[in-house]
Chains A and B, each alone.
Chain A
């Protein structure tokens, strides 16, 4: 059985970097807010990087410049340097004091609240360092059930599945493929995250026929507003796709948006 396939009524909700529309991305505040909105079982998509002294941390960019008060490459900084940075104030004064989380701490939070992390590996050339560390941490915490891995690099996901078979994998695609099932199978993927622009073309149905889950990233409401004014209602399409059982996971920067869409589909 594919662990990422669900029924129409159970479409999973996810926040991109946590509830990044309302809290600083990839912080405890963003993960906790996602949980407050969508409850137990919410997925928080997040990004994995490594410090110079080998600690696994959650941050999107290669540098700390955009999302903290510091400067520098994560891979050149020690964890104690990273831990001293403020990762919240850039987003809003009320988030001052947020830190770049350690993966380990975030997993402890996930166990407590019932969060699943969709962990994107942002480093493509250091599998020999990342894989054993992930393997060891998962064994130590017994937390394979709290994780799924995602990447644009399907070669990496295939290798990761070999190293950690009990964690499902999600391939991220911007292309409309002719045979998405073949692409998923050759990389041993459990899901493919489809681009919304291509979604109406029917790849989700192809994936489901082949036993692969279909995920979708929805742009946040303010980015859909002008299209809606011009008569194109993307959210109405998404509601229909949920109702038709075409979606296994729906992700957005705004968790309240995906919760609302799922409620509308089954209201």
Chain B
């Protein structure tokens, strides 16, 4: 179970974005295993549907940039997808992993004791796609340990109608005038705002409406040049954390996140 608003008790959820990805793996077992070892509360994963209607864990719609395959996932049957192996985007040498079915990753992460954020990326008509997601979560006994996320607020609204107990998170790359109203429009439990749009008033507005606050921060390397010139976003971020503005920190580098949270005097929230 999630503590919906850990910031109220000096806790915070630490989430690995596609797992702990700075070693080159993403959306695969080594990325999740490493995230768990480093102390993540949960990992974010991405869903794609194959031509024969199986849900696999993979970020892009095309295979080309992060696997040994080429082509569009939705044009292949799962049996074909299963023959490809993952490949690091940045050219780092990794041992290629299979592109796995959602049910297998759900079981694996359940056994690691981690929760998951599952991002819906495909576009679809009707509700069959979302019904399939809900059914797999229930079969894997992960329904209570998962947050469904999307940039598509209509998909979030629809899955909540289908399965009212499910928790959802809207992804935001902008700063809205009334973030709580947008969250309310889709009955979201959490709203994520990416760097650099995050601002305290977003968090305050969401917290006043009992909506939890997630913040995606790029990994420390991203900030290296700026820090060399004396601009340090992490000082600002630390102040937000200490002020209890953030319920979940999402980052590519779980080790850094866990360490940063501890330095801010917070404890990592665990799913019980």
Query: A and B from one assembly?
Result: yes
Q: Residues of A at under 8 Å CB distance from B?
A: 62-63, 65, 72-73, 76, 124, 152-156, 158, 171-179, 182-183, 186-187, 195, 197-198, 200-201, 226-227, 230-232
Smallest beta-carbon distance A125→chain B, Å:
8
Task: State how many angstroms separate the Cβ of B252 from the closest Cβ of chain A.
Answer: 18
Q: Is B216 in contact with chain A by the CB < 8 A criterion?
A: no
Whether the Cβ atoms of A176 and B153 lie closer than 8 Å is: yes
**Inter-chain contact B197/A152, CB cutoff 8 Å:** yes
**Nearest CB of chain B from residue A8's CB, rounded to whole Å:** 24
Smallest distance from the beta carbon of A212 to chain B beta carbons, Å? 14
In the complex, A238→B154 CA distance in Å? 22
CB of A152 within 8 A of CB of B152, answer: no
For residue B234, CB closer than 8 A to chain A, the reply is no
Query: Given the known A-B contacts A124-B197, A175-B170, are A198 and B177 also in contact in the complex, defined by CB atoms under 8 Å?
Result: no
Q: Out of A73, A175, A179, A232, name the residue touching B174 (CB < 8 Å).
A: A175
Contacts of A76 in B (CB 8 A): 229-230
Task: Say yes or no: B151 contacts A195, CB within 8 Å.
Answer: yes
Q: Please measure, in the bound complex, the distance between the C-alpha atom of A155 and the C-alpha atom of B182, giving whole angstroms.
A: 14
Contacts A/B (CB < 8 Å), 5 sampled? A76-B230, A124-B175, A176-B153, A186-B178, A201-B152
Asked if residues B172 and A175 are in contact (CB atoms below 8 Å), the reply is: yes
Residues of chain A lying within 8 A (CB to CB) of residue B155: 176
From B170, B177, B181, give the contact of A158 (CB < 8 A). B177
Q: How far is the CA of A156 from the CA of B201 in the complex (A)?
A: 12
Within 8 Å CB of A156, what residues of B?
Answer: 175
Is B71 an interface residue when CB atoms closer than 8 A count as contact? yes
Q: How far does the Cβ of A1 sit from chain B's closest Cβ, in whole Å?
A: 23
Query: B151 touching A153 by the CB < 8 A rule?
Result: no
Question: Between A and B, how many residue pairs show CB distances below 8 Å?
Answer: 98
B256 in the interface, Cβ–Cβ < 8 Å? no
Partner of B173, one of A62, A72, A152, A178: A152
* Residue contact B231 to A62, C-beta cutoff 8 Å: yes
Please give me the residue from chain A that is nearest to B61 by CB atom.
A227
Q: Whole-angstrom distance from the CB of A73 to the nearest CB of chain B?
A: 4
Task: Decide if B199 is an interface residue (CB 8 Å cutoff).
Answer: yes
Known: A73-B231, A172-B174, A186-B177. A179 touches B185 (CB 8 A): yes
Cβ-closest 4 pairs across A and B: A174-B173, A176-B152, A152-B174, A153-B175
B29 within 8 A of A: no
- Once A186-B177, A200-B123 are accepted as A-B contacts, the answer to whether A175 and B62 lie under 8 Å apart by CB is no
Of the candidates B64, B154, B199, which one forms a contact with A226 in the assembled complex, judged by CB atoms under 8 Å apart? B64
Give the CA-CA distance A76 to B199 in the complex, in Å.
23
Q: B171–A175 contact, CB under 8 A?
A: yes
User: Of B70, B123, B186, B229, which contacts A63 at CB under 8 A?
Assistant: B229
B194-229 to A contact mask, C-beta < 8 Å, 1/0:
001101010000000000000000000000011001
For the complex with contacts A63-B229, A201-B152, A231-B72, 14 further pairs of A-B residues with Cβ separation under 8 Å are: A153-B197, A154-B175, A154-B177, A156-B175, A171-B174, A172-B174, A177-B182, A178-B153, A178-B186, A187-B177, A201-B154, A226-B62, A230-B71, A230-B75
Task: Determine whether the beta carbon of B151 is less than 8 Å from that of A175.
Answer: yes
Residues of chain B with a CB closer than 8 A to A179's CB: 185
Contact, CB under 8 Å: B175 / A155: yes
Does B157 reach chain A (CB closer than 8 Å)? yes
Distance in Å: Cβ of A152 to nearest Cβ of chain B: 4
A76 to B62, CA, bound (A): 42
Q: Does B1 contact A (CB under 8 A)?
A: no
Distance between Cα atoms of A175 and B225 in the complex (Å): 29
In the assembled complex, the Cα of A183 lies from the Cα of B153 at a distance in Å of 13
Is B154 a contact of A178 with CB atoms below 8 Å?
yes
Query: Which of A63, A152, A201, A232 interacts with B72 by CB under 8 Å?
Result: A232
Do residues B175 and A198 form an inter-chain contact, with CB atoms below 8 A? Answer: no
Give the interface centre of A63, A178, A182 by most chain B CB atoms within 10 Å.
A178
Who on chain B is nearest to A73 by CB? B229
* Residues 152-168 (chain B) with a chain A CB within 8 angstroms: 152-155, 157
